[in-house]
Amino acid sequence: MMSQSYSIRKAELSDALEMAKIHKSSLAVDMLSQLNNDDLIVKYYKYFIGKIDFYVLELDTHELVSFVGITTREFDYEEELKKFCKMYIMDILASCIKSIKAFRMILRKVLSPSNGAIQLNAGKRVIIPFEIHITVTKPQYQSMGCGKLCLNHAVEQLGITSCIVKTHSRRAARFYEKCGFKKTNAAFDGNWNLIVLSYYGGVVI
Ligand SMILES: CC(C)(COP(=O)(O)OP(=O)(O)OC[C@H]1O[C@@H](n2cnc3c(N)ncnc32)[C@H](O)[C@@H]1OP(=O)(O)O)[C@@H](O)C(=O)NCCC(=O)NCCS
């Protein structure tokens, strides 16, 4: 557990460079981790301008350890379902052309009764106003409770009662589950591995 003194505060534009560096050191496989530092900083500046609320956990030594970014957006389940289904069809067509084997695989997924995307709360319209954009903890401070502390603080400060997070990582999904999120579905994003989790006042939706 975290034994050092720390505080959690809303991030400022001047934190962007450090946050970008932490991001790069923590995420091994990620589109942003391919960027050089300058481009990554620009990306983070854009995030700030793009109205992402960042909260940072900072040690008393002023070292930034963890941060979470949350956007305000309407997440409409019905719309998302339509989007995913459209992608299914596109992928099937593409696979048809590429190879019969891939086509069979896609078809099996579509027909599988356990396919989450197809059963994505069909017919149910749920608008979720917040989305967690990212949570990152510096590698040497991971598994000490920092990410959870930061996320909980942000959720409390923003008065969030319902929120969504989308991730490609099973590890990250397990972290979010520990923070009170529930797996809503395994959605299709072209790679079959986008996990959608939601938090809705502690209730699975
Ligand atoms: C995911 C990440 C943010 C977790 O941060 P962290 O500070 O290490 O997490 P915490 O120590 O606060 O863990 C909180 C809980 O989640 C659990 N947890 C954290 N990472 C986990 C993992 N990889 N697998 C399973 N459980 C995990 C912890 O055991 C802890 O459980 P507890 O509350 O029962 O004690 C961090 O590992 C990270 O920065 N990873 C790289 C970036 C990333 O993938 N971010 C998520 C996608 S945006």
Mean pLDDT calculated for residue range 21-40: 75
Q: How far apart, in whole angstroms, are the C-alpha atoms of residue 156 and residue 111? A: 41
Between the CA of 67 and the centroid of ligand 1 the distance, in Å, is: 12
> 3-state SS of the chain: helix, strand, coil percent to 5?
45, 25, 30
**Ligand 1, atom 43, residue with closest C-alpha:** 136
Reply yes or no on whether the pLDDT at 129 is more than 50: yes
Domain assignments of the chain as residue spans, ordered by start: 6-74+124-200, 77-111
Q: pTM of this prediction? A: 0.77
Reply yes or no on whether the pLDDT at 106 is more than 80: no
Give me the pLDDT at residue 205, please.
39
Q: Is 186 helix (H, G, I), strand (E, B) or coil?
A: strand
Give me the pLDDT at residue 196, please.
72
Ligand 1 contacts CB of residue 117 (under 6 A): no
Name which CATH class applies to 6-74+124-200: alpha beta
Ligand 1 contacts CB of residue 171 (under 6 A): yes
Ligand 1 atom nearest the C-alpha of 143 is 11
Reply yes or no on whether the pLDDT at 112 is more than 90: no
Reply yes or no on whether the pLDDT at 111 is more than 60: no
Comparing 3-7, 29-33, 96-100, 116-120, which segment has the lowest mean pLDDT? 116-120
User: Cα–Cα distances in Å, from 178 out to 18, 101, 158?
Assistant: 26, 38, 20
Reply yes or no on whether the pLDDT at 80 is more than 70: no
Between the CA of 94 and the centroid of ligand 1 the distance, in Å, is: 36
Whether the Cβ atoms of residue 151 and residue 161 lie closer than 8 Å to each other: no
Per-residue pLDDT reduced to its tens digit, 144-179: 999 999 999 998 898 888 888 888 788 888 999 999
Give me the pLDDT at residue 192, please.
44
Mean pLDDT calculated for residue range 14-29: 84
Answer with the residue of higher pLDDT: 47 or 89.
Answer: 47
Reply yes or no on whether the pLDDT at 64 is more than 90: yes
Reply yes or no on whether the pLDDT at 52 is more than 70: yes
119 confidence band (pLDDT: 50, 70, 90): very low
Amino acid at 58: E
20 confidence band (pLDDT: 50, 70, 90): confident
Mean pLDDT calculated for residue range 9-28: 87
Ligand 1 atom nearest the C-alpha of 144 is 11
Give me the pLDDT at residue 23, please.
87
Ligand 1 atom nearest the C-alpha of 132 is 48
Where do the H-state alpha helices sit in the chain? Answer: 16-26, 37-49, 77-98, 100-111, 146-157, 170-178
Answer with the residue of higher pLDDT: 81 or 119.
Answer: 81
